[in-house]
Structure 1
Amino acid sequence: MSEEQNAALGGDEIELSEQAPGVVDDSKSAPEDRATAGPFDASEVPSMRPYVDLGGIKVAPREGLQLRLEVDERANRVVAVSLEYAESLLQVQAFAAPKKTGLWHGVRAELAKQMAAQGGTITEEDGTLGPELLVQTPAPADQGGTRVARFVAVDGPRWMLRGVIMGKAATDASARERVLDLYRELVVVRGEQPMPPSELLPLKVPAGVQGQRQAPEGGTLQV
């Protein structure tokens, strides 16, 4: 995993710690048209539509889209999906969630706290999907400047899909619109198995590249 991606994920994965009862809003955060405009639950899309099946997340192919899998080499498992599109990078993860309540409000507060502790500047904005976090962190001394990442998420039926937007779309509204259109085409496969809230939905290497079980140096698999 690259330094930029690792920084955006706050190390490996952002810890989704539970908050004290009554402190954080646990209502669902999602656009009103989520069920018809996405991101979709697996039950909401036609079974015959072609997707790249990554287990907990399915990706609709489109021209110009490059897909990579981010691998935790210590645990030997796929932990995120990276989509390069429109001069930008969208990194997504799906998490199990309660049926009637959401995770994003609580996760957003925890994420802001973690990023601030790392020296980041956090701005909350109201985007087309709902509340977003724009995070600016100092780049390494040898590179200079500032790294910018935008965190978005949607609470769906028994899941939360979180995205980290980097590159041009983090600050450019036109590029961001294209990346969010890609995000809204994603499908989350929650499955019927019981899972505790905030647990990462399992991801897998697609059948066509099953032979590449060992990730190359850098912790990514090109699909």
Structure 2
Amino acid sequence: MWRFAKKKQKNSAEHGTDAVEVPESQAGAEEPAAEPAVGASDYDPVEGDFGPFDGDSVDYRQFDFSDFAKGGLDLGSLMVPVPHEGEVQVEMGPTGPQMVHIVTPFGRITPVAFAAPKSTDMWEEAATEILQGMAEDGLQVSMEQGPWGQEVHAESGDAAMHVIGVSGPRWMLRMTLAGPGASSADLVELTRQIIARTFVMRGKDPIPAGTALPVQIPQAMADELRRHLEAQAQAQAQSEGQGQA
């Protein structure tokens, strides 16, 4: 299902804070790609062949995802591959960037990582709460079996939502999918491929369970957002000035 190669040599380099571009020249220099056996019982975030990986124990530089992704989006607590057909969209809040989305031809994917307790499968509990909440909102909901366990699926008219969660060591990764119902299956498959190549860096700081891990926007993206907001403010000021003239 998910074809990617793992590099032979390992190093202990720490992850940076900017988006990582995987050079095309690296392709073909790795071990032959293998189809990992997929199943909840096969998943190992540290020693396994597919993710999501524990980024505090596994260096993402050991992997080559250039056949799938244009680069890796480094959000500090998350390293998420951006597929060749995807684009990054930042949702702005009152105080700055609030949410990061990956927009694809099939719909939108929103990744979030949370701190979680050591001994509890936090996703198993969260999935039930999400399902109940969606049902109370009037959506048609169901549980579906995915590679990492139960996934939540919901439909409303021609639109569909899908929530995939994975519990790791002291963290939980959640991907929320939204798009047209007609392309829901394609969006789910693409998201599973993204999850299999995602790294979660929880860190060692004490964080209450259920708290979203902090996200850092790459500097280049932050600068682009700042220029965009400044241009918007300038255009609005000019428009208001013309209206008062």
* Residue 206 of structure 2 corresponds to residue 194 of structure 1: yes
- 2:159 aligned residue: 147
Going from structure 1 to structure 2, the CA distance change for 1:205 and 1:175 (only over 3 Å counts) comes to closer
8 Å CA contact 1:170–1:176 kept in 2: the answer is: no
Aligned residue among 107, 110, 116 for 1:91 = 110
Which residue of structure 2 aligns with residue 219 of structure 1? none
Gaps of 5+ in 1: 1-28, 138-144, 217-223
Report 1:138-217 matches (<5 A). Answer: 145-167=157-179, 172-211=184-223, 212-213=225-226
Deviates more, 1:86-95 or 1:206-215: 206-215
CA-to-partner distance for each residue in 1:18-77, whole Å, 9 max, x for gaps? xxxxxxxxxxx9552242200111122344767321122112244222112334x24x25
Query: Paired residue for 1:141?
Result: none
Residue 136 to residue 215, structure 1, CA distance change in 2 (3 Å): farther
Corresponding residue of 1:105: 124
- Inter-partner Cα distance in structure 1 for 2:73 and 2:111: 14
How many Å separate the matches in 2 of 1:100 and 1:47? Answer: 29
Q: 1:112 to 1:62 in 2, by over 3 A?
A: closer
C-alpha contact 1:30 1:156 (8 A) present in aligned 2: no
Give the superposed CA RMSD.
2.7
Per-residue CA deviations over 1:184-215 (Å, capped at 9, x if unaligned) read 21111111110000001111211112222598
**Compared CA separation, residues 78 and 191, structure 1 to 2 (3 A):** farther
Counterpart of 1:136, as a letter, is E
C-alpha contact (below 8 Å) 2:177/2:187 kept by paired residues: no
The SS at the match of 2:215 is coil
Cα 1:174–1:64, aligned 2, differ >3 Å: closer, same or farther? closer
SS of the aligned residue for 2:120 comes to coil
Aligned to 1:3: none
Aligned-pair identity in percent equals: 28
1:45 aligns with: 59
Q: Give aligned pairs, total.
A: 179
The structure in which a higher percent of residues are helix is: 2
1:136 maps onto 2:150 in alignment: no
1:55-100 Cα distance to aligned partner (Å, 9 max, x none): 22112244222112334x24x2544331123523211111000122
Q: Normalising by structure 1, what TM-score? A: 0.69
Name which one, 1 or 2, has greater alpha-carbon Rg: 2
What runs of 5+ residues in structure 2 fail to find an aligned partner? Answer: 1-38, 64-70, 230-245
Task: Find the counterpart in structure 2 of residue 70 from structure 1.
Answer: 91
Against the structure 1 CA distance between its residues 46 and 134, is the aligned structure 2 distance closer, same or farther, given a 3 Å change threshold? Answer: closer
SS state of the match for residue 55, structure 1? Answer: coil
Aligned letter for 1:93? V
- 2:242 alignment counterpart: none
Contact map agreement 2:158 2:182 (CA 8 A) in 1 = no
Whether 1:33 and 2:46 are equivalent positions in the alignment is no
Letter matched to residue 91 of structure 2 = E
Q: TM-score, normalised by structure 2?
A: 0.64
What displacement does 1:128 show? 1.8
Check whether the contact 2:85–2:104 (CA below 8 A) recurs between aligned residues. yes
CA distance in 2, matches of 1:38, 1:153: 12
Q: 1:194 to 1:126 in 2, by over 3 A?
A: same
CA distance in 2 between counterparts of 1:183 and 1:84 reads: 15
Q: 1 or 2 for the larger relative contact order (CA 8 Å, sep ≥6)? A: 1
Distance 1:86 1:51 in 2: 19
